[in-house]
Chain A
Amino acid sequence: MSSIDTEPKDVGVPVVPATLHTKRRQLLSRLLKSKAATISVIILLIVVMAAVAAPWLSPHDPFANKLIQRLKPPMFSNSSGIYLLGTDSLGRDILSRVIYGARVSLTVGVSAVAISGVIGVLIGLLSGYFGGKVDDVFMRICDVQLSFPTILLALTIMAVLGSGLDKLILVLGLTGWVPYGRIVRSQVMSIKNDEFVLAARAAGERQWRILFQQILPNIWSPVIVIGSFTIASNIVSEASLSFLGVGVPPSIPSWGTMLADGREYIGVADWLTIPAGVAISLTVLAINILGDWLRDYLDPRLKNIL
């Protein structure tokens, strides 16, 4: 039969959006072309390094209270000082606490995202795929959650539970899954009637395989983008709650508790607030820029929904 040769004659290069797979290969080269994204990656690498190597990078013990050394201004404004960025109200070295603060921020940011991501993706998948009662309940929970500023919810729960890093992660993780659920649900609903899903059913695949192996790989892009934005918002939430005194305990060096300390001594020691504020703003800015870039890179159409 003449038409069956190993090299089909029909040609034509279809223009379709590249998949996650092909994109992974060119990710780095594309990233380096964007100046803002490159700088953001460098900033984040520094933050990660600070978090990982905090004990070696810190010039002083961030936990050591030296009341005799309290509220020392930074080295450059006081030639006799030994503290580069000065000390806080308990005489602890600010630079060391900023470096250690990266640990808390990243730990909370990433772990809470992992928790809310897993919950949100699972619920979104089930809700979008099966619809019905599961979906109704999910949508109502979304309504409630949307009408309840997350920070207020986290604040009240933390107030009852008491401060603590583990509790904070849990609370932020458990209150933050709705955005994932919503986006995954809408994505699943838009592709569950695609022919490739029907094809998998026709081939005799089991439902859970279809859900996790056929559908899930197609909806990673928005999940990744939301995840990156949520790391940033979790870092801000951690700092906000710690600032209000219900996040991590004041002894643990966190950018939020440092700012709370600085607020107390505003007008007396303005150097207290600058380093932690700069650290948190730069980190969040870098993540947001990278998130924007990632969204435009993975799927520009997401601009309209994220």
Chain B
Amino acid sequence: MSYVIRRVLQSVVVVFGVSIVAFFMLFMTGDPTEIILGDGADHMTVQQIEEFRVKMGFDRPWYIQYASFVGNAVHGDFGYSFTRHQPAFQVITEKMPATIQLASIAFVLSLLISIPLGVLSAVNPHKPIDRISTFVALLGQSIPSFWLSILLMLLFGVKLKWLPISGSGTWQHLVMPAIALAAFPIARNMRLTRSSMLDFMQKDFVRTARAKGISEYRVVTSHVLRNSLLPIVTAIGLEAGFLLGGSVIIETIFGWPGVGREIVQAIGSKDFYVVQAGVITLALIFAVVNLIIDLAYSWIDPRIGFGS
């Protein structure tokens, strides 16, 4: 039980840390007034700027500003977006479903491809199938996702005209972004599955199982795979962060109307309240997903104690 409490407390600390980072982002260059106003300040008088500063509360000490920032954020109030003309948090929540849709499809896709490929490689070590998939995985880890996206667009969008290049609405719009987003996790999980399986195949209890005359298929599925899935589950937890962070780039390239693209656009238009809201929301989701996975993990693996 103390493990659960400790783990939940840890998540609270994490969210607190993220809020500090997101808050002080605006103070990095000194005065947030300039950042918020951006080029607009050129057309204002000194007095107007000063009034704006007071109106926004930027004249108060930073710790009071931080306290009111946190107080408002708890109620979902991250300020008002001047470019979208609606509350910043609402801008983000409206885009959330699209991001979650893309991330979860990419997530499922990565598991469906990486684990079977990894098993196949581990069962046939150093055979052609292993060599090819290991190399493809290395390639997948090395090609930046945004170039892969462009290649996909060139091939399926421009040359073959099978899929739309950007936008959303139909399932066809999802195909390329999902593949581009899943490429790196596929590559990493495949390599992880392979090495984890190979590790367990040399363990004594597997050798014993073989010696007992259990069929190779059962040895692999019920002895090796079950055990080697544990390290993979841990990696999957961190995957959530990767998918959410990666979505920033992929969504921008494919014009997918999600939180990531919104953040990038908000950065372009200096709409920093939307950036703050987006960053904190993504981090919060990530913290919750990780918390759930960690707790589930300790449930599966008896060595990580719920007990003492």
Surface stretch bound by B, among A16-24, A84-92, A241-249: A241-249
The answer to the question of A277 belonging to the interface, with a C-beta cut-off of 8 Å to chain B, is: yes
Per the bound structure, the CA–CA distance linking A80 and B121 in Å amounts to: 49
Shortest Cβ distance from A241 into B: residue: B249
Most interface-central of B142, B248, B275 (chain A CB within 10 A): B142
Measured between beta carbons, the chain A residues less than 8 angstroms from B29 are 160-161
Judged by a CB distance under 8 angstroms, whether A151 is at the interface is yes
Q: Is A51 an interface residue (CB 8 A)?
A: no
Main secondary structure of the interface of A (DSSP, over half): helix
A146 neighbours in B (Cβ, 8 Å) = 238, 241
Give Cα A243–Cα B143 distance, bound, in whole angstroms: 14
CB distance from A73 to the nearest CB of B (A): 15
In whole angstroms, how far apart are the Cα atoms of A281 and B149 in the complex?
Answer: 13
Contact B142 A143 (CB under 8 A): no
Does any Cβ of B come within 8 Å of A95's Cβ?
A: no
**Residue contact A263 to B253, C-beta cutoff 8 Å:** yes
Taking CB atoms, residues of chain B closer than 8 Å to A267 are: 157-158, 165
In the complex, which of the residues A147, A153, A263 has the most CB atoms of chain B within 10 Å of its own CB atom?
A: A147
Residues in A with CB closer than 8 Å to B246 are 149, 151
B141 at the binding interface (Cβ < 8 Å): yes
Interface size on B, residues (CB 8 A): 51
- Please determine whether A236 and B144 come into contact, CB atoms closer than 8 angstroms: yes
| Cβ of B201 under 8 Å from chain A | no
Which residues of chain A have C-beta atoms less than 8 A from B279's C-beta? 152, 156
Contact flags A161-201 to B (C-beta < 8 A → 1, else 0): 10000000000000000000000000000000000000000
Assembled-state Cα–Cα distance A285/B137 (Å): 11
Enumerate the 7 nearest inter-chain pairs by beta-carbon distance, A residue then B residue, closest first: A149-B245, A144-B17, A285-B142, A159-B267, A277-B147, A284-B142, A281-B143
Question: Which of B143, B150, B249, B268 has most chain A Cβ within 10 Å?
Answer: B150
B252 cross-chain contacts in A, Cβ below 8 A? 244
- Contact indicator B158/A270 (Cβ below 8 Å): yes
A189–B99 CA distance with the chains assembled, in angstroms: 40
Kindly supply a per-residue 1/0 record for chain A positions 216-238, scoring 1 wherever the CB is within 8 Å of any chain B CB and 0 otherwise: 00000000000000001000100
Q: Is the CB of A288 within 8 A of B13?
A: no
Instruction: Name the residue on B nearest A273 (C-beta).
Output: B150
Contact residue among A148, A285, A303 (Cβ-Cβ distance under 8 Å from B195) = A303
Residues in B with CB closer than 8 Å to A155 are: 248, 263-264, 267
A39 interface contact, C-beta 8 A: no
Range, interface on chain A: 35 or more
B144 touches A281 (CB 8 A): yes
User: Which stretch of B47-55, B219-227, B282-290 is in the interface?
Assistant: B282-290
Interface residues of B in 1-39 (CB under 8 A from A): 10, 13-14, 17-18, 21-22, 25-26, 28-29, 35
Q: How far is the CA of A141 from the CA of B17 in the complex (A)?
A: 8
Beta-carbon contact of B264 and A244 below 8 Å: yes
Asked whether A160 and B14 contact (CB < 8 A) given A259-B147, A285-B142, the answer is no
Chain A residue nearest in CB terms to B151: A277
Encoded as 1 (CB less than 8 Å from any B CB) or 0, chain A from 263 to 306 comes to: 10011001001001100110011001100100000000001100
Give the CA-CA distance A143 to B237 in the complex, in Å: 13
Q: Do A147 and B18 touch across chains, with their CB atoms under 8 A apart? A: yes
Q: State which residues 241-256 of B face A: CB under 8 Å.
A: 241-242, 244-246, 248-249, 252-253
B111 within 8 A of A: no
A160 neighbours in B (Cβ, 8 Å)? 25-26, 28-29, 35, 272
Complex: chain A residue closest to B275, CB-CB = A156
Asked whether, in the complex, the Cβ of B21 is within 8 Å of the Cβ of A153, the reply is: yes
In the assembled complex, the Cα of A148 lies from the Cα of B18 at a distance in Å of 7
Inter-chain CA distance A267–B147, complex, in Å, is: 15
- Residues of A within 8 Å of B195, CB to CB, are 303
Q: Chain B's nearest CB lies how many Å from the CB of A242?
A: 10
Give the residues in chain A near B146, CB-CB below 8 Å: 239-240, 243, 259, 263
Q: In the assembled complex, how far is the CB of residue A250 from the closest CB belonging to chain B, in whole angstroms?
A: 13
Q: In the complex, what residue of chain A is closest to B264 when comparing beta carbons?
A: A244
Are B283 and A285 in contact, with the CB atoms below 8 A? no
> A152 contacts B144, CB within 8 Å?
no
A140 within 8 Å of B by Cβ? yes
Would A144 and B14 count as touching, CB distance under 8 A? yes
- CA of A190 to CA of B241 in the docked complex: distance in angstroms? 29
Q: Are A270 and B154 within 8 A (Cβ)? A: yes
Residue of A nearest to B252 (CB): A244
